[in-house]
Amino acid sequence: MDDPVRLPPFRLLACDLDGTMLNENGRWTPEVLAFFDQARSAGIHVVPATGRRQFSALPLVEEASIKNWVVVQNGTMVVDPITHSVSQGWFVPDRLVVPVAEFLAREGCATLVYTNAPRGPREFYLLANSPDPSGFLSWYLDYTGQHYTEVQSFSEVQGEEVTRIVGHHHPDILQKLGRNLEAEFGTKLRHFLGLDQTQGTHRLEVLHPQANKWSGVLHVASHLCVEPEEILAIGDDTNDIEMLRSARWSLAAPGANAQAQTAARERIEGQGLEAVLRVLRERLGLPASGS
């Protein structure tokens, strides 16, 4: 294993948000914002890579004064935070949207079909009178306001650029459904099981086979003329695995799940954001806070 003290200089920090760089309320702390300023002053690009949709990710990006492209919706899109335009997208093939969504719905999942719409009723679709086996849906619809559309059939979604198809259910059911999806669709799609950070419920996400956070980060890095070996990544969950495995150096945040810890090159010892910022400064070669 590489000695982190002897690593070459990094020029890009790819960072997960929820559970990693945000506090328990889903907000930046003053200490994190000061760290971002310090990193930028040292010539290091800060690239958020998040599962959040544009409408919830971009206000945070603006608050942190991040001007470069960012990765949203678990790597399905790279978005310009200034113009809100999509620089790159990896969308579920249109011919597979209805079969996958109907399969999850038949198995009793609360099934959500997300699109590339930036804000408003087309952000995601769900069936009218959708089941809610994990209790996630009732909270989520209240949280998202009017950013969704109920349909009688998922055939009404055809023609949209679909980023993700997500089924919410109990984890044992989702594991079985994931195996069935793999048997049915093989390499035409990819999927992973995730944990919702806010509600503690589980989900199965189905995406384009090339859609992941690392693909998005590489797209941003190429635009910034940064080489892959100049990237340091940090994350905590299953949706960070490709990024943690592939970056030149990677860190599993405190509280990271077992898969993220295994994928990362280093696990951060300690608690919370204080430990995260301490280790990031060490690995990026930045002075300690207050020095």
* Nearest partner of 208 among 88, 93, 117, 125, judged by Cα: 93
For residue 138, the model assigns a pLDDT of 93
The residue among 207, 223, 252 that closes a domain is 207
DSSP 8-state secondary structure symbol assigned to residue 66: -
Do 218 and 269 lie in a common domain?
yes
For residue 42, the enclosing domain spans 4-89+212-284
pLDDT given for residue 6 in this prediction? 58
Asked if pLDDT for residue 185 goes beyond 60, the answer is yes
> Amino acid identity, residue 257?
N
Distance of CA 35 to the CA centre of its chain: 21
* DSSP H or E run through 163: strand 162-169
Number of domains the chain contains: 2
Last residue of a domain, one of 144, 173, 207: 207
Residues 6+ apart with CB under 8 A from 31: 273, 274, 277, 289
Question: Are 202 and 106 in a shared domain?
Answer: yes
Q: pLDDT for 122-147, tens place per residue?
A: 999 999 999 999 999 999 999 888 88
In a domain, 128, yes or no: yes
pLDDT at residue 4 in the model: 59
Task: Determine, yes or no, domain membership for 291.
Answer: no
Judge whether 168 lies within some domain.
Answer: yes
Q: Are residues 272 and 223 in the same domain?
A: yes
For 144, counting Cβ atoms within 10 Å of its Cβ (0-12 exposed, 13-18 middle, 19+ buried), the class is middle
Q: pLDDT by residue (tens digit) across 61-106?
A: 999 999 999 999 999 999 999 999 999 999 999 999 999 999 999 9
Q: Is residue 290 part of a domain?
A: no
Q: Is 262 part of any domain? A: yes
Residues 175 and 245 in one domain: no
CA 56 to CA 140: how far, in whole Å? 13
Do the domain assignments include residue 289?
A: no
As a dihedral over the C-alpha atoms of residue 80, residue 81, residue 86, residue 89, rounded to 10 degrees, the angle is 90
156 within some domain: yes
Cα 167 to Cα 111: distance, rounded to the nearest angstrom: 4
Domain co-membership, 77 together with 121: no
Domain check: are 30 and 80 in the same one?
yes
Q: How is residue 51 written in tokens?
A: 């599962």
Of the candidates 45, 110, 38, 115, the one whose C-alpha atom is nearest the C-alpha of residue 73 is 115
Residue 153 φ then ψ, to 5°: -150, 145
Could you identify the residue written with the tokens 């079985």? 176
Looking at the structure, do residues 43 and 105 belong to the same domain, yes or no?
A: no
DSSP character string of 24-38: TTS---HHHHHHHHH
Angle at 180 between CA 141 and CA 130, to 5 degrees: 20
In our burial notation (b when 16+ CB lie closer than 10 A, e otherwise), range 180-216 reads: ebeeebeeebbbbbbbbbeeebbbbbbbbeebbbbbb
Judge if 51 and 194 occupy the same domain: no
Asked whether the predicted pLDDT for residue 197 surpasses 80, the reply is no
Enclosing H/E stretch for 235: strand 231-235
| CATH number of 254's domain | 3.40.50.1000
What pLDDT shows up at residue 1?
Answer: 52
Could you tell me if residue 124 is inside a domain? Answer: yes
Q: 242 and 165 in one domain?
A: no
Boundary residue ending a domain (145, 174, 207): 207
Q: Are residues 48 and 76 in the same domain?
A: yes
Domain co-membership, 156 together with 233: no
How does pLDDT run across 14-50, given as a tens digit for each residue?
A: 999 999 999 999 999 999 999 999 999 999 999 999 9
Whether residues 233 and 128 fall in one domain: no
Q: What is the CATH number of the domain that holds 149?
A: 3.30.1240.10
